[in-house]
Amino acid sequence: MAKKDYSGLAKTIIANVGGKENINSLIHCITRLRFYLKDESKANDEVLKETDGVIDVMHASGQYQVVIGNAVTQVYDAVMAELGGLPEGGEAAETAETKEDDGKNPVSKAFGNLIGFITGSMSPVVGVIAASGIIKGILALLTLPQLGALLNVKSTAYITVSAMADSAFYFLPILVGFAAAKKLNGDPIVAAVIGGVLTYPQLVTWGGQYKTMFSLGGFNFQFLNYTYSIFPMILAAWLAKKLEDWLRDHLPDYLQMIFTPMITILLVSAVTLMITGPVIQGVANGIADLINWVVSASGWIGGLLIGAFYQVLVIFGLHWGVVPLVAQQIAQSGQSSLNAIISVTMVSQGAAVLAVALKTKKKGTKTLGISAAVSAFCGVTEPAIYGINLRFKKVFISGLIGSAVGGLITGLMHGTMYGFTGSLIGFSSFFNPKNPSDLTSFYAFLLSSAAALVISFIVAWVWGYNDEMVAGKKVEKKQRPGSEAKQKSETLTAPVAGKVIALSSVNDPVFSTGAMGEGFAVVPTEGVVKAPVDGEVAALFETGHAIGLKTTAGAEVLIHIGIDTVMLKGKGFNVKVAQGDLVKAGQTLIEFDLDGIKEAGYDPTVMTVVTDKHDVDIKLPSVE
């Protein structure tokens, strides 16, 4: 199977977040590209939402989030390849977060920055933790007496595979430290070494015995076990970054190569072991225990409420704030009642979108729905939520109803999880590795998941979705106020004088592949762009190199002057209209310096693309 080329999509995304010059930094999680932009107002949400390969766009946690789905890693790599040299987090990200929160109260600003930092520190590690959790669950399954105890816990095979599963958790401080340092644009190797100090075997042994390091004023400073921990290392990575910056400013250049990492490792490791580590670990363990106790004590009430509303956090990307808490619970007590409820919410959203996929007769919706359902059943709900469920809100609500019932059952049965991975693929995480014959949580998983599946599916099928409702919603969304009778067809004229050529011959895959939509191009002979049809100026790029029109019939048309001319930053472009203006066919929209574009080394070809027909029959000029 040929490798899919995402370079065209990457260019489209970059152009519509305001261009490279508007990007401070970029990270990604399981399904989203998370941009830190200098000015989010320069991003074109509507174009991105309509772009093939983009599920949705969100503004949350000081980030501009482009929801991609399962191909996010490939798209991220393509975007980074196009950008070249862009920091993956760091000071630029911090600056972006601060700018995004300008005007907000300090609590909101701090919370947004904290979520952004946790996201960047944890998202690269989540996949490994999830995979390790599945392996541990399968091992527990293979030791079940009911299955004939296929593996002995003392066998070489069991211990070897268990080491593969445990390593990600055991050395979690190293992984988190490395990821956090990259997020902060610090030295990831130094941070990983500090993580190695926290997981050094002798210190781990002393930590298990609470061995005293030293006493001061009658207070004993003790070693703790930091394997499976997260928060102490996140703070250590931040301290290391601050200390590294200070040392670079104060140490002579010829001393920095050796003394900067040496001093950083010594001081930050010591501070973490003696002060911040014990404090943060104690607080984190306390919070984890408290959450487990609250969920367990609240029983069906906690299960009902968490089940009903957890996926709402996913809409805003705030669920990443819960991820380290769940990981801390599992690290501290070996289980997480909260995660057991979260698991069933994934199943319910998958069932709701599956109902849409099976009910609809629309090929595109069916294909998207099936892939989104599979993704949700594998523990990632965002393709389902942004692809279909939120766009048809009753489908999303149907999922919430099912997950509320599933959460209620989990709470009633006091179900818990012993691994990280949820949804159907995480079934093995409900087996207790310390007591494989205890199947209480597994039965809770079966009953709650079955209830969530059936209820969400039925409610979505009967009440949440039908093709007629969707068609009506599309027309209503795109109608212009006061326009009850619209023309059903329109003809586009060439917006600039010159030779009309096929869009496929343009030297830019974003346009030539048809990713933006069908259209045509013109090799211009003069620098005046005129409206190709009556309509309204719907989008106007600050650089003047592109303009979006909404025609009288409701179709959306993009006129793009030149290839990569956004890099001219507006030089040579003179815009004659404003966003919201009503224009007539033939009216001058933009004047541009044709010779100046050529002299700067850019292709001046003018592309006209119908980005969304909205059921309007568009007639294009003939290619010469």
> What are the catalytic residues?
29
Tally: H helices and E strands in the chain? 22, 18
> Residue 212 is inside which H or E element, if any?
strand 212-216
Is the CB of residue 414 less than 8 Å from the CB of residue 440?
yes
Dihedral in degrees, nearest 10, Cα atoms 133, 134, 136, 142: 160
In angstroms, the CA 24 to CA 86 distance is: 8
In angstroms, the CA 348 to CA 110 distance is: 33
Backbone angles phi, psi at 503, to 5 degrees: -60, -30
What distances in angstroms separate CA 566 from CA 356, 520, 542, 576, one per listed residue? Answer: 40, 20, 9, 18
Residue 324, classified by CB atoms within 10 Å of its CB into exposed (0-12), middle (13-18) or buried (19+), is buried
Triad 78, 80, 83: Cα angle to 5°: 110
In angstroms, the CA 610 to CA 460 distance is: 33
3-state secondary structure of 245: helix
- Residue 452 tokens read as 């969530």
3-state secondary structure of 611: strand
Is the CB of residue 194 less than 8 Å from the CB of residue 272?
yes
Q: β-strands 606-612, 219-222: how paired?
A: unpaired
Closest Cα to residue 558, out of 604, 511, 600? 511
- Residue 74 tokens read as 């490939």
- Residue 189 tokens read as 């190797």
In angstroms, the CA 224 to CA 161 distance is: 27
From first CA to last CA, the distance across the chain in angstroms is 37
Triad 171, 175, 180: Cα angle to 5°: 140
Contacts of 334 (CB under 8 A, 6+ apart): 418, 433, 434
Q: In what order do the strands lie in the sheet with 528-530?
A: 528-530, 588-592, 573-575
- Residue 431 tokens read as 């087996």
Q: The tokens 């998958």 sit on which residue?
A: 350
- Residue 483 tokens read as 């326009």
Q: Which one-letter DSSP state was computed for residue 89?
A: S
> Residue 372 is inside which H or E element, if any?
helix 363-377
Greatest alpha-carbon pair distance for the chain in Å reads 91
